[in-house]
Amino acid sequence: MEAVMGAATHTSDSEFQKDVLDSKVPVLVDFWAEWCGPCKMVAPVLDELAKEYEGKIKIAKVDVDQNQQVAGSFNIRSIPTLLFFKNGQVVKQLIGAHPKAKLVSEIQEVIG
C-alpha cells in the first residue's frame, strides 16, 4: 500500500486482504478510475477526511481498471463507489460523488 501520512492510500488486488479486510480500524474504500470525472471531485475530500480521521478510519483507493479482481468481487458497477468495511465486512455503501458533510456523517456512523 502506498502510504502518505494523512492522505488516502492506494491498495490493489494483491494487498486488499491485508490493507482492508484485516484492518484493525474501519476502512472506507473508494473504487475509482483515472477517466472518471466524479471520482476526481471526491478525491481531495477523501484526502482531507483521511487527515481528519487518522487513526479512527483508514481511507483506501482501488483503481478499478488496474484491480478488476477486487472490483468484481464486490460487484462494482458504477464509480465512484465507496464501501465502508468494519471487521472485514461491508457495512455501508455509497454510489456517486457526495458532499463532504454527507461523508462525515457516514464515517461518524461507521466509527460510532
Q: Is 36 a catalytic residue?
A: yes
The answer to whether 63 touches 33, Cβ cutoff 8 Å, is yes
What is the C-alpha R_g of the chain?
12
Catalytic pick among 20, 27, 28, 36: 36
Burial of 106 (0-12, 13-18, 19+ CB in 10 A): middle
12 noted as active-site residue = no
The one catalytic residue among 39, 46, 71, 79: 39
User: Domain boundaries in the chain?
Assistant: 9-111
Q: Mean pLDDT per 10-residue run, the chain (112 residues)?
A: 66 97 97 97 95 96 97 96 97 96 97 92
Q: What is the CATH number of domain 9-111?
A: 3.40.30.10
What pLDDT does 7 receive? 82
